Amino acid sequence: MKYKKTALWIFLAAGSAGLVFIFGAVPGESAVPPQTEIAQPAPEQTGPEPELPQPEPESAEPESGPAAIAPEMASAHFEMAEYRCDCAGLCDGWPARMNPVLLDRIEALREYYGLPVVITSGVRCEDRNTEVGGVAWSFHKRGDAADLYCPGVAVGDLAQTAKDLGMNVLPYYASGYIHVEV
């Protein structure tokens, strides 16, 4: 019988150990496990944050194509191209430089009226001057003259204002434009 008691104690001990293993408590103790903090993994150590790509600043100039070429301005309201020789490829368009004094006075004429002024002829090469019947001593060949008109302004009024602004003037009443020179 001694063996039966021992076997019973072994069975009870094994059963209690099983209960502790299964329920995590010893009989008579609280079945709620104690609160323990679970260790959080340390943040991963990395190098400095990479810089985010910055957008490229927008250029004031278009990238390509015909619009990429900004016109050279002769003054606030006139492009240099308006004064270019209009021959059919007989020259590079600039047989002489336009006189800056003339450009300033034509700009003053435009500002006086507050209306567009149309340049019909600026600098001319020798061949173009001959084609249009210009005189041999034409101021156009030196870049000192231009032919122009202002829609809505009478030739006589335009001629007088140009003269008042310091230009020499030849009005062409029948053709509707004036020749100005400095």
Residue 134 maps to which CATH number? 3.30.1380.10
Helix (H, G, I), strand (E, B) or coil at 145: strand
Using an 8 Å Cβ cutoff, are 147 and 177 in contact? yes
Whole-angstrom distance, CA of residue 86 vs CA of residue 84: 6
Please check whether residue 164 lies inside any domain of the structure: yes
How many domains does the structure of the chain reveal? 1
Please check whether residue 68 lies inside any domain of the structure: no
Please check whether residue 142 lies inside any domain of the structure: yes
- Give the number of other CB atoms < 10 A from CB of residue 6: 10
Please check whether residue 155 lies inside any domain of the structure: yes
Residue 162 domain boundaries? 94-181
Please give the single-letter amino acid code of residue 81: A
- The answer to whether residue 49 scores a pLDDT higher than 80 is no
- Give the number of other CB atoms < 10 A from CB of residue 154: 12
Residue 119 makes CB contacts below 8 A (sequence gap 6+) with 78, 82, 83, 106, 146, 147, 148
Please check whether residue 109 lies inside any domain of the structure: yes
pTM: 0.62
Top-confidence range, 5-19, 26-40, 84-98: 84-98
Please check whether residue 110 lies inside any domain of the structure: yes
- The answer to whether residue 122 scores a pLDDT higher than 90 is yes
The proportion of the chain whose per-residue pLDDT surpasses 70, expressed as a percent, equals: 63
Q: Which of 12-21, 65-74, 87-96, 159-168 has the lowest mean pLDDT?
A: 12-21
